[in-house]
Each structure stands twice: as C-alpha cells, then as structure tokens.
C-alpha cells in the first residue's frame, strides 16, 4: 500500500495538471519548471544530446505534452520501469531544430546552444511566470504530506544550486524554504503547516488546500467538543463547503470573459476569497483594505456567485 502522503501528492498534482496558462509567457514558464525539475540532460558523441523528462503521474505527462503542443514538436514518449521508482513516463526532446528552439526558449539552452544549469531569470521575470514556473517545478519533483500527518512539503532535485535557486524564488513570494543535501538528491523543503498551505494556494491547488483546512477545522472541533458542549461541527462543515463552492464559482468566473469586466470592488473581493478560501466571512471582511463589514462582503460575494451562474455570452 502506498503512503497516504503519496496519494495526496498525486491528488494535488492532478488538480494542478488542469491548469494550462492562457498566456504564452506563462505556458513557457510552466514548461520550463517541469523540464528543470524532472529533466535530465544526456550528452552523446559528436556534441549530440537529449533531454529526458521523467514523470510518474500520467496527468503530469499530459500537462507537459499540452504545454509543448503550440511549439509543433513531436517528442518521443516511452514507458520505463526501474527500482525503486517503479513505472515512469519519459518525454524525450532531442537536438532536432524545432526541439532546440523549444529548449532555448525555456532556458535549458543558451542562445549559442550551450546547456544552462541555472534557472533562466528571463523566464521568471513576471510574477505570474514565477508562479507558473514553481507550479511546473512542483509537478515535476514536488511532494506534500497528507492532511492530519506531520507537515512536510518539498521539491527534490539533483543539484544543490537548483535547490538554492528554488528556495530563493519561493522566498520572493514570502514562503520560507530550507535546503538539505542528501546522499542521492537535494531537498528544498518546509515543515511549517502555514507555508505548505500557502504554497498550495499560490500554485492554484485550491481544492486540495480546502480539504486540508477542512481536516484541521474538523479536528479542532472534535478536540474541543468536551470543553465546548455547544460547539456545532455542522457549522464548520457548512462554512468549509460554502468556501469551496465560492472558490469553484470564482474559478469559473476567472476563466470566462466576465472576469476582466468586473468592477474593481467585486474583483478585490473575488481575489480575497481565492487567496483565503478557508476564512469565515467576518475574518475575510477584516482582510479587505479598507476593511469591509460582514454584510457588505456577503453582498458582493452573492453578486459574484450570481455572475458565475450566468451563461457565458
């Protein structure tokens, strides 16, 4: 039986695999993150080389192929099985002209076609691209512990330099990660629960984040039941479920053409709820700048939910 953390990691990755950025620059950054995290450069005779991107999750492989599709390349795809990893899918990019162009654009190759072992700063210059790069990195080499177990989130790479760069990029978003060298790899990791939860939200795994928060909320309810006889677990469930429904509706709204036409007041509330899906209305209202009343916040959320239910035109 696989550890619970492995299955939860797969659950998180499947959710992230549904995110293929709309903008070219963000797709390029997510592709770069995947290749840098899960790729291996193989050098051959006569200066020939190939990049093998090995992934254990079929959904991650499909995400990688979707990111490659606009480039018009036809990479090799094969299945390999090795101990102790087990079955993996390999996507292989060689040294054909179009594949060289892709590798150059995502920063694996310099303009004079030399292999680059450092994160390409031009690819992650925008914040949205930085997030997309980290999302690709997590898809390629990330893991996170399951709800209810000791917190551990990490990105595991082969190079200490790459691990340090990942820690730096994560730090620029306000997430503090440490680097630990092991016998066979290097980990960029955190054992802080809030850091792990914030990373899931940053990458776009809002459903997984909510499931984690639901587990914590219900755990706290059970732990205090003897001391607080009137504590109502159903309220916690309803609050968590309401938050999930709102996030799902706002994600649909953001993917539609209506998002750009939203008034600034509604867009601010939508971004607040997407960033803090687990907060109560009162707590969420206090996060607004300037703070809103609970009633005003609830009114705007209701308007957003109504817009999300409206058929796209």
The CATH code of the domain that includes 87 is 3.10.28.10
pLDDT tens-place values along the chain, 313 residues long? 334 446 888 888 998 888 888 888 998 999 998 888 888 777 665 667 788 888 888 888 888 888 888 888 888 888 877 666 667 788 888 878 888 888 888 888 877 777 777 888 888 899 999 999 999 999 998 999 888 788 899 998 888 888 999 999 999 989 999 999 888 889 999 998 889 888 998 998 888 888 777 766 555 555 554 455 444 556 667 777 777 888 888 888 888 878 888 888 888 888 888 888 878 888 888 888 888 898 988 898 888 888 888 765 5
Residues 143 and 279 in one domain: no
Q: Which residues lie across from 189 on neighbouring strands?
A: 154, 178
CA distance 300 to 265: 8
Residues 278 and 300 in one domain: yes
Q: Is the pTM of this model over 0.75?
A: no
Residues 217 and 186 in one domain: no
- Domain-terminating residue out of 195, 220, 252: 195
H or E element in which residue 2 lies: none
- Domain-terminating residue out of 125, 160, 195: 195
Q: Does residue 200 sit within a domain?
A: no
CA distance 172 to 181: 22
CA distance 115 to 66: 24
Q: With H, G, I as helix, E, B as strand and everything else as coil, classify residue 67.
A: helix
pLDDT digits (tens, 9 = 90+) for 94-142: 878 888 888 888 888 877 777 777 888 888 899 999 999 999 999 998 9
- Residue range(s) defining the domain that contains residue 12: 4-195
Residues 227 and 165 in one domain: no
pLDDT digits (tens, 9 = 90+) for 166-202: 999 999 989 999 999 888 889 999 998 889 888 998 9
Locate 22 and state its tokens.
Answer: 């709309």
CA distance 14 to 9: 9
Residues 189 and 212 in one domain: no
Residues 6+ apart with CB under 8 A from 186: 156, 157, 158, 159, 160, 162, 163, 179, 180
Q: Which residues lie across from 40 on neighbouring strands?
A: 52
Q: Name the strands in the sheet holding 186-190, side by side, starting at the edge strand that comes first in the sequence.
A: 142-144, 153-157, 186-190, 178-181
Domain count, the chain: 2
């Amino acid at each position: 039986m696989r550890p619970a953390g492995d299955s939860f990691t797969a659950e998180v990755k499947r959710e992230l695999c549904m995110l293929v950025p709309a903008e070219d620059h963000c797709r390029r950054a997510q592709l770069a993150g995947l290749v840098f995290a899960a790729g291996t450069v193989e050098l051959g005779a006569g200066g020939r080389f190939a990049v093998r991107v090995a992934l254990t999750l079929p959904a991650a492989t499909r995400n990688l192929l979707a990111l490659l599709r606009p480039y018009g390349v036809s990479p090799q795809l094969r299945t390999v099985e090795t101990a102790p990893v087990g079955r993996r899918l390999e996507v292989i990019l060689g040294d054909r002209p179009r594949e060289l162009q892709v590798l150059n654009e995502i920063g694996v190759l310099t303009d004079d076609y030399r292999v680059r072992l450092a994160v390409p700063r031009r690819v992650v210059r925008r914040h949205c691209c930085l997030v997309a790069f980290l999302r690709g990195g997590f898809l390629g080499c990330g893991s996170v512990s399951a709800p209810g177990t000791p917190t551990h989130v990490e990105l595991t790479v082969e190079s200490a330099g790459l691990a340090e760069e990942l820690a730096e990029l994560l730090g620029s978003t306000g997430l503090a990660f440490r680097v630990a060298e092991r016998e066979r790899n290097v980990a960029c990791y955190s054992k802080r629960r809030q850091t792990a939860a914030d990373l899931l939200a940053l990458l776009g795994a809002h459903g997984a984040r909510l499931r984690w928060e639901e587990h914590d909320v219900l755990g706290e309810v059970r732990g205090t039941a003897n001391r607080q006889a009137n504590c109502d677990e159903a309220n916690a469930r309803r609050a968590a479920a309401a938050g999930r429904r709102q996030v799902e509706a706002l994600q649909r709204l953001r993917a539609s053409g209506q998002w750009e036409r939203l008034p600034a007041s509604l867009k601010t509330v939508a971004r607040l709820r997407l960033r803090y899906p687990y907060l109560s209305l009162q707590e969420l209202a206090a996060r607004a700048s300037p703070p809103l009343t609970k009633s005003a916040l609830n009114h705007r959320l209701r308007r957003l939910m109504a817009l999300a239910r409206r058929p796209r035109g």
